[in-house]
Structure 1
């Protein structure tokens, strides 16, 4: 049998790391499942790959399947990797914008990946920021094409090179920019709470076809993910051995601290409130075109896997 193909839209990142660790630390193998991790950027392309069958499982933004499965038809969430929106807005240090100072954002080229960019738009608009009036331009980072790229680190490099004035990306990109003195964290959506925290979360999704055909394998993925979350929370240093196999040298030495910081948010449970937030996000992003559409919880989440993998 061919290995289970698990796609991630950013490999050098803490965002999806428990899913990567479940494979790389042998936890999914302990469940009898042979699996590989494949980098597919951006997450919108990864969602299409899931739909088209070149991926079996997607570990990415929880709202991502909506880009390829209208109204969730044919796809289901099976677990959360971690709770709450997990992206950072990092602005060039020379701009002098401090934490939470959204009123100081003006005349910025902000780099953000497709499928991730909408999260920043919604956060700013819901916070009363007029993007046009402030001349805030959110879009792809120049020189970063679709394919296999880890966006957070690439965005930090673009900030240092002056190709962007700010970026909206994961914790690794933020950590690199702060460590280099080139960027300042203005928004940490997860820890700041409020409007930004409930937009989306890091989640694991798959197709209804795979759930119907092989629920035992999908359940094994959820169990291995939960074991990885617990292991990394108890021993964040284990992340370094994975990082040294997969990451550039500098990022490999940073990953354990980022995992330690994120561990309080590790949880496979998907709450009704989280799904309601996804639906709200989807409607405002145009991914759920009907403004009255509210997909049922059990249409979005594979609750039938509760006996094989703890998702509640």
Structure 2
């Protein structure tokens, strides 16, 4: 470049190693993550999930052992999903209300062991119904919103009696957050928080989870209650604001990676913490890419940082081993 054309602004000046590290604005630590855990019947069970390499179903004892190890690494929260046998399912998901079901037993065991982790529990019926939908069906075959919400309150109470710190309504039922909040307060559980699956899309990325939890719909789809993937951000923000008005303590966007724009809009729209769920399909796609040599494990780090940069305060992810490696030190953060 000639002396007559100086270049006073050179962004590369700040890209030397020490300056790069000082100026990083997107930071993640282990305590920013929530770990999903699939808990099943039995004892001593560690059952690998074929579509999700590195992820297992655990019986209550083994789930508690696994969580104890993660707590020692610095993880602060888990999100429990129940997995039951087909013969235990019925049309209304009765097992979800059983105070001795696998989720309730895991929460009690975590509390008995004094694990320093927030016990979060999924509130839904798809894992417990014989038809795989997220609630009680009407005569027409649609999910009956109000009857389902009534049962969600009972499920929340069962989990809270077991010791849950946070309950997470995930079925996208209208009015669920408000009804659950009122039910918890009336029963003396005013301190139990609600993490609402506020913007949950009818996504193609849920397949491995449904295999893991045995929650694939026996007929139809979930477009009648989950959000359309072609919908605008405005629809998501409306759902999120409604949940906050009803008492949600944390709101969630699910999936995370394909909906970074929604995460960013949520962060601007509300003052409560925003969680984002990096779902089973996102996990499986990245693992497959790494196994094929198409990308390396840095792609996992990049995907998690993108979710954080978009505005997520909390990230739900299955990548516990990678999270420890990438974000378990001051340098990683």
TM-score w.r.t. structure 2 length? 0.27
Greater Rg over alpha carbons, structure: 2
**Higher RCO (CA 8 Å, separation ≥ 6 residues):** 1
